[in-house]
Every structure is written in C-alpha cells, then in structure tokens.
Amino acid sequence: MSTLVLAEHDNAELKDATLAAVTAAGQLGGDVHVLVAGAGCGAVAEAAAKVAGVAKVLVADDAAYGAALPENVAPLVAGLMGGYDAFVAPATSRGKNIAPRVAAALDVAQISEILSVEGPDTFTRPIYAGNAIATVKSSDTKKVITVRGTAFAKAATSGGSAAVEAVAAAGASDKASFVGAELTKSARPELTAAKIIVSGGRALGSSEKFHEYIDPLADKLGAAVGASRAAVDAGYAPNDYQVGQTGKIVAPELYVAVGISGAIQHLAGMKDSKIIVAINKDEEAPIFQVADVGLVGDLFTVVPELAGKL
C-alpha cells in the first residue's frame, strides 16, 4: 500500500492544506509520497521532504505546471499512479479542479472531502451541505480522495527527511493556458489557516461599514476576516471572504460572527470552530444555537467597544 499526495503550493511555499492531506494519507496505511508539480518549486520540495511521515518527494519542475492547469497536472498524476494504490489531494480549489480528472483517467470513483478514514476503503464525508454524514465504501482498486483540511490534524513540518526525486514532465496541453490571477492582497492571515476569524454578515449594511467595524476588531485580535454569503452577495465583502458550504470551510480556535443570522449554509462552513462567539441584535437568530458565547446587541455599538476592551 502506498499513497501519492498532491502538494498544495504557490511555487514558493508549501501550503498547510498539504499537511492535513499527508495525515489522512498516513491513515490509509503504507508509504506516503508527495508530488510537487510546479515551476521553480525547489524550495517547496525541500519543505515537503521535512514533513513528518513523508517517505519520498517527487518533483515535476516544469513550466507546464507553473499555474497547476489540470489539463497538464492530471495526466502527470495519472501516469505516476501505476506505482500507487491511492491518490490524495487537499480539497482546495486546486485539488478539486485536478483530482476528478485523475479519477476519470484511472476509471475510478472519487471520494470527495473526506472527514475521516474508517478503513483502507471506507471513509466518512459530508453530504447535503454537512447536514448528513455518509460513510462510504469504495470498490475501486485504486482510490482517488480529496481531504477536508479542517477534519485532519496537520502533519509536523519538521522531523521528516524524505528523499527528493525528480520526475519527468508529461508534456503540456495546447488546449488551456493561464492568463492571469487577481489575488486578494492582505496583511492578515489566510482564512483557512487563521487561528482567529472575525466574520461579518448582512447586518453591516454596506461595504464601508463592513470595513469600518470588522477590520479594527480583526486587527486587534490578529484575525482573518470572513463574511457570510449574504454579505458577499450584497457586495459588502469580496467573494473569497465567504465562509460556508459553497465558500471556505474553516475551523479556527475562535470564530466571531458579527451580524450573521446563521443560515444552514454558513453554519456548515464554521461549526467545527473551537469557540464560537455570536453578536447579533436578534436573539432568535440561529447562530446562537451553535455559539458558545452569545451577546444580543447592536453590533455598531458592541463591536467598537469590544475592540477597545480587548
């Protein structure tokens, strides 16, 4: 039994999502190898080699993999799978883009966003936006799996001393090309990696108020900023702020929900947070049913006061 894990990275840094995937892969039993496909990604491969539990790092360093186009990465992975029993990718936008294409090439079903490994072929995963948890058993000889990062502990980033081996590039498709990216620049921590998150909802009322009230509290706490889908749809916050079933799934140590009513789809994205604080003027808001500490009050007076007293 051996498993190939797709590394999540930006050609410079290995991302934390990889570490949860390594843990999940380890639970399948057998050797865990990590594939770093990128362009100029040597530093990422070195970081991956130090991750505890990784036996070998494969590096495909080629211009074709710079933007992680699935048309190029999936054939590379499929070509390597002869030597592996399972392929594990983080359930990031990149992992979700690539893994099913690998599964199709191998003619196997994919098991998406697993929450736990119950056995070498049995896994739990959320369905209906996390309102039910299915235990599924795969009959395929090779497994293709994506891993929900918040459901697994992160493997340690030191202690490993894996061999790094270069693998040949598998060619570049002429059907797709990368044009450009607009990444949200922020001095704050990344939403999915943050220990503390302050999220704002539709009650903020405008983009200006969203920043005026949420940002100082987040700055005070050293927190990432999130938003409900309602706030994003209303244009108060950019779409990559969205926490929820169709946005980011987060599980920080502390989640502060400000002016968020707690729609099912939002709760699905944050209910695994360790401590949830809710501030809402409607005492009947569903968010209070999951909050550890709730404060019924007007956010426009409560939030600045809280920022001042922390």
Partner 1 sequence: MKVLVPVKRVVDYNVKVRVKSDQTGVELANIKMSMNPFDEIAVEEAIRLKEKGVATEVVVVSIGVQQCTETLRTALAMGADRGILVQTDVTTESLAVAKVLARIAEEEQPGLIILGKQAIDDDANQTGQMLAGLLGWAQGTFASKVDPQGDTVAVTREIDGGLETVALKLPAIVTTDLRLNEPRYASLPNIMKAKSKPIANKTPADYGVDMTPRLTTVKVTEPAKRQAGIKVKSVDELVAKLKEMGAVA
- Asked whether position 20 contacts partner 1 by CB under 8 A, the answer is no
Q: How far is the CB of 27 from partner 1 (least distance, A)?
A: 17
Site string for partner 1, 263-282 (x = CB under 8 A): -x------x---xxx-----
Residue 306 in the binding site for partner 1 (CB under 8 A): yes
Pick between residue 32 and residue 237 the one whose CB is nearest to partner 1: 237
| Distance in Å, CB of 148 to partner 1, minimum | 11
- From 206, 282, 293, 298, residue interacting with partner 1 (rule: CB under 8 A): 293
- The tokens for 215 are 């940002």
259 interacts with partner 1 by CB under 8 A: no
Can residue 227 be called a binding residue for partner 1 (CB under 8 A)?
A: no
- The DSSP call for residue 41 is -
Residue 254 in contact with partner 1, rule: CB under 8 A: yes
C-alpha distances (whole Å) from 308 to each of 100, 107, 277 are: 48, 57, 17
* Nearest-angstrom CA–CA distance, 143 and 106: 9
Residue 284 interacting with partner 1 (CB under 8 A): no
CB 232 within 8 A of CB 252: no
**Minimal CA–CA distance to 42: which of 72, 87, 11, 88?**
11
- End-to-end CA, the chain: 51
Among the residue ranges 40-48, 49-57, 201-209, 295-303, the one whose residues contact partner 1 (CB under 8 A): 295-303
272 exposure class (CB count in 10 Å sphere: 0-12, 13-18, 19+): middle
Q: Is 182 a binder of partner 1 (CB under 8 A)? A: yes
Residue selected from 83, 180, 187, 284 as contacting partner 1 according to rule CB under 8 A: 180
φ, ψ for residue 18 (rounded to 5)? Answer: -60, -35
Say if residues 166 and 59 touch (Cβ distance below 8 Å). yes
Nearest-approach distance from CB 112 to partner 1, in angstroms: 5
211 binds partner 1 (CB under 8 A): no
Region from 41-49, 65-73, 80-88, 158-166 binding partner 1, contact rule CB under 8 A: 65-73
Nearest 5°: the CA angle 221, 226, 232 is 150
Following DSSP, what letter does each residue of 85-123 receive, concatenated?
Answer: SEEEEESSHHHHHHHHHHHHHHT--EEEEESEEEETTEE
Q: How far is the CB of 192 from partner 1 (least distance, A)?
A: 7
Nearest to 43 by CA among 55, 56, 61, 31: 61
Residue 275 CB, shortest distance to partner 1, in Å, is 5
Instruction: Count the residues of the shown chain that bind partner 1, applying the rule CB under 8 A.
Output: 87
Q: Is 100 in the site for partner 1 (CB under 8 A)?
A: yes
43 binds partner 1 (CB under 8 A): no
Contact stretch for partner 1 (CB under 8 A) within 54-62, 164-172, 206-214, 234-242: 234-242
